[in-house]
Amino acid sequence: MKHPLVAILATVTAVAACSSGGPRGDSNVGRLIGRVVPFMGDTASRASHSAGQLCGVAGLQGKPVAPITSATNGCGVAAPVQVTHVDGVKLSQPATLDCPTATALHRWVTEAMRPALGRASASVTELRVPAHYVCRTRNHRAGARISEHGKGRAIDISAILLANGETITVAGDWSDSKYSRALREMHTNACGIFGTTLGPGSDGMHENHFHYDTAQYRGGPYCR
């Protein structure tokens, strides 16, 4: 009979060997084509409430929610979170996303939106979000592929609200407004943060909002 300590050491060694073959945090994981790339962490990783973090990102607030399944092939989110605030900015409705997309949204707010708005960025109170997770086809077209919205990998933004009561809208301020340049700059700089960026002039379906998603393409980001 083996000594108990020997048995314990053997078990630990076996577990360690199995663990070494698990997912790695390299770029190949994020660049899989044509499938949902789930966040590989557990619930504790998705939400560190004691640190005021979601998905391990300071400034992302919300909570993890149960996995989303669907009878529709292609829809669902393996490890969703519900985002309520990004860098202190409230979302008009909690957005259900996967962690890579929530993290990209945080990057867009801090690296694209705020720099584009300059001094006005300090007074941003809310982002108007008309759509996040919803199981549907692209542009609601029958027979089309499932939208990235149906995978928790997309968010639409239609307006930015300021503390002084002003509302900067994609529909009303894109072409002729004191905020036109800022809107165009933040949209341009979303390219690369997200895999797909669509806005006014892109395809006729995004004249009143920005569509951002984290789909990955072999040829690089698709930005219009």
For residue 143, name the pLDDT band (cuts at 50, 70, 90).
Answer: confident
DSSP character string of 77-97: BSSEEEEEEETTEEEEEEEEE
Global pTM reads: 0.78
Q: Rounded to 5 degrees, what are φ and ψ at 164? A: -80, 5
pLDDT of residue 142: 75
pLDDT of residue 6: 40
Total structural domains within the chain: 1
Task: Of 6-20, 96-110, 120-134, 169-183, give the lowest mean pLDDT range.
Answer: 6-20
Distance between CA atoms of residues 81 and 128, nearest Å = 18
Tell me the pLDDT tens digit for each residue of 98-114. 999 999 999 999 999 99
Distance between CA atoms of residues 151 and 91, nearest Å = 20
* Domain range for 37: 4-223
For residue 46, name the pLDDT band (cuts at 50, 70, 90).
Answer: low
In the structure encoding, which two tokens stand for residue 115, read together?
A: 């720099």
Q: Which ranges in the chain belong to alpha helices (H)?
A: 4-19, 27-30, 43-46, 99-108, 114-117, 170-173, 180-188
